[in-house]
Every structure is written in C-alpha cells, then in structure tokens.
C-alpha cells in the first residue's frame, strides 16, 4: 500500500536586492522591484557602488595628486547620494534598506548578495536602455552570484507569476533554478516544464513535475522534439501560447581568460527574454 503524498512547504522570499545606477530605465526597475517586494511581503535592499574615476596620465600614475583624488571622491559621493535618493523615492511604501560603498560595482554586488534571496536586474539586450554609472548587467554576475537573478525586460511593471514556463534540462543548473523558483511556482495557476529535443524516457521532466507535486504544484511536462528552430524559440512559443509571464531557467557557461562564455540558450534569454526570467547557476 502506498502512503499518501505529503505536501511540503517551500521557503518564501525574505529579501530582494536591486542595484541602482544613474542611467535610463533604472527608476522603472526599482519600481518593479518595490512592487514585487510588496506582493511578496518582503524587504528590498538598494545597492550602489563604484570606484573613484581619475584622469589617465599614461605611465605617469604618480602625477595624480591628493586634490584630484579628493575631487573624484566628491563626484562619486554625489552620485551615490543621487542613487540613494532615487532608490528611496521609488521604494517608498515597502520595507527597504540602502547599502553603498566606494568599491568596484560588481565586486560589491557579489558580496552583498549574501543578504538577499533574489537579485532584480534590467535586461540588457542590444536595443534596451543602456546602463549608467554603477550599472550591472545580468551577464556580469549570474555565473558567480550564488543567488538567482530575475531579468526584467523594459516595459514590464509587475510580475504576477500566474503562469510559468520552466525550461528544463536534466542538469544541476535546471534543478537549482527549479528549487529557487518555488516561491513563485506555489502561487502560479499554471506551470509547464518544457524539455526540447529530449528523450521522453530519460529527460527527467516528469520527475521534475513530480518534485513540484510535493509542494502542491500541479505542473505538466511539455516534450518538444528538436526542430529547425531554436530552443529559445520553442520556449517563447510556449510562453505566448500559455500567456506566461515568467520563465525559469538554469544559466550555463564556462570561463575563458577570466570571462564567462555563455551557452546559446542562456545568452538569448539574458538578452532577449520577452517576459521576466528567473535564472540560476
């Protein structure tokens, strides 16, 4: 006799983190993060950091005197104050905290992410608004962050996550993303786990649906043969057909000469996801 299936309780999201920069579109991203924090009843951390900009004197680095350094410091502190004011104005109405430092932006974000469950970032495709000073693109951190990121395309103001598409591949990255997305998946009305070009008997999509069932999530497996189109094309076709507003995917890549070379699916989603995309490595 089989025992009845017990429903496990996933952990929720306690803290979101959003980097703040002075470029176009940043205020929109902060507003998005604040609305999401309110919907999830969690707090929001805003983060700003950069290094002091100094004039370049070629090989004569010793010519940079104390006055020049102090002027550069004053400019940076002014920019950090502007970023803080922007964040606090846009985050009004939710529990929030500001963190800043005179430090390389990416390095500061990588360390401060320890205080958050999810990092919210604007999509950075070829036609998207460029980042300003203190900006961080999703591709700059996703492989080393140790936290999931939420990539937000321009023009998207909220995330209901009522309908979700999980891009499945039987890898550790997909398994990590599936678990990281549980706080959204338990709220969803429809969840599809899509595997493209996989062997129906060995792709693990059915097991992934079974894993979600432990949390009371009724997910369906969608198995698509590899066609002439791209994997991302199959994923986005399902997103449109299902009316989904969230994609969940693992992030893939390898390091070469201190730079990350992304897999094709990861690169396409980072730059062109049509809806919010939660990615984990």
Residue 262 belongs to a domain: yes
Q: What is the DSSP letter of 50?
A: E
Domains in the chain: how many in total?
Answer: 2
Using the predicted structure, report yes or no on whether residue 256 has a pLDDT greater than 70.
no
Q: Are residues 127 and 62 in the same domain?
A: yes
Measure the CA–CA gap between 14 and 1, rounded to whole angstroms: 39
Residue 1 belongs to a domain: no
Q: Are residues 217 and 268 in the same domain?
A: yes
In a 3-state reduction of DSSP, which class is residue 191? strand
Residue 40 belongs to a domain: yes
Residue 49 belongs to a domain: yes
At 182, list the tokens. 């549980």
Longest dimension (CA), the chain: 82
Using the predicted structure, report yes or no on whether residue 251 has a pLDDT greater than 60.
yes
Contacts of 247 (CB under 8 A, 6+ apart): 164, 165, 166, 167, 235, 239, 269, 273, 275, 276, 277, 278
Phi, psi of 43 (to 5 degrees): -95, 165
Q: Are residues 123 and 178 in the same domain?
A: no
**pLDDT range class, residue 64, cuts 50, 70, 90:** low
Q: What is the CA radius of gyration of the chain?
A: 21
Interval 143-161: pLDDT, tens? 889 999 999 999 999 999 9
Q: Among 6-15, 91-100, 167-176, 194-203, which stretch is predicted with the lowest mean pLDDT?
A: 194-203
Measure the CA–CA gap between 231 and 240, rounded to whole angstroms: 14
Residue 11 belongs to a domain: no
Q: Are residues 171 and 141 in the same domain?
A: no
Using the predicted structure, report yes or no on whether residue 257 has a pLDDT greater than 80.
no
Q: Are residues 170 and 270 in the same domain?
A: yes
Q: Are residues 27 and 146 in the same domain?
A: yes
Interval 104-116: pLDDT, tens? 999 999 999 999 9
Among 152, 171, 186, the domain-final residue is 152
pLDDT, position 252 = 84
Measure the CA–CA gap between 223 and 179, rounded to whole angstroms: 21
Measure the CA–CA gap between 56 and 58, rounded to whole angstroms: 6
Calculate what percentage of the chain has a pLDDT beyond 70: 86
Residue 150, number of CB atoms within 10 A of its CB: 22
Q: Are residues 51 and 130 in the same domain?
A: yes
Q: Are residues 208 and 253 in the same domain?
A: yes
In DSSP notation, 70-102 reads HHHHHHHHHHHHHHHHHHHHHTTTS-EEEEEEE
Q: Are residues 137 and 27 in the same domain?
A: yes
Among 152, 174, 209, the domain-final residue is 152
In a 3-state reduction of DSSP, which class is residue 51? coil
Q: Domain of 212?
A: 163-280
pLDDT, position 264 = 81
Q: Are residues 94 and 126 in the same domain?
A: yes
Q: Are residues 31 and 82 in the same domain?
A: yes
The CATH number of the domain holding residue 48 is 3.40.50.620
Residue 4 belongs to a domain: no
Residue 47 belongs to a domain: yes
**pLDDT range class, residue 238, cuts 50, 70, 90:** very high
pLDDT, position 58 = 57
Q: Are residues 144 and 169 in the same domain?
A: no
Among 89, 124, 152, the domain-final residue is 152
Residue 78 belongs to a domain: yes
């Amino acid at each position: 006799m089989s025992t009845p299936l017990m429903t496990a309780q996933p952990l929720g999201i306690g803290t979101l983190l959003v980097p703040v920069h002075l470029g176009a579109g940043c205020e929109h991203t902060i507003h998005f993060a604040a609305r999401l924090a309110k919907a999830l009843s969690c707090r929001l951390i805003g983060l700003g950091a950069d290094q002091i900009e100094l004039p370049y004197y070629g090989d004569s680095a010793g010519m940079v005197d104390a006055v020049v350094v102090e002027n550069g410091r004053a400019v940076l502190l002014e920019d950090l104050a502007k970023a803080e004011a922007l964040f606090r104005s846009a985050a009004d109405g939710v529990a929030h905290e500001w963190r800043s430092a005179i430090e390389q932006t990416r390095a500061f974000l990588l360390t401060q992410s320890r205080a958050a469950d999810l990092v919210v970032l604007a999509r950075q495709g070829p036609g998207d608004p460029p980042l300003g000073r203190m900006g961080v693109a999703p591709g700059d951190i996703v492989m080393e962050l140790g936290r999931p990121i939420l990539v937000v395309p321009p023009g998207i103001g909220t995330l209901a996550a009522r309908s979700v598409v999980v891009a499945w591949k039987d890898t550790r990255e997909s398994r990590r993303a599936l678990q990281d997305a549980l706080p959204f998946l338990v709220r969803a009305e429809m969840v599809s786990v899509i595997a493209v070009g996989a062997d129906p008997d060995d792709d693990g999509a059915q097991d992934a649906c079974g894993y979600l069932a432990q949390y009371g999530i009724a997910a369906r497996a969608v198995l698509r043969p590899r066609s002439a189109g791209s994997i991302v094309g199959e994923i986005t076709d399902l997103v449109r057909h299902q009316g989904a507003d969230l994609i969940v995917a693992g992030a893939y890549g390898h390091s070469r000469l201190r730079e990350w070379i992304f897999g094709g699916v990861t690169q396409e989603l980072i730059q062109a996801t049509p809806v919010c995309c939660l990615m984990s490595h």
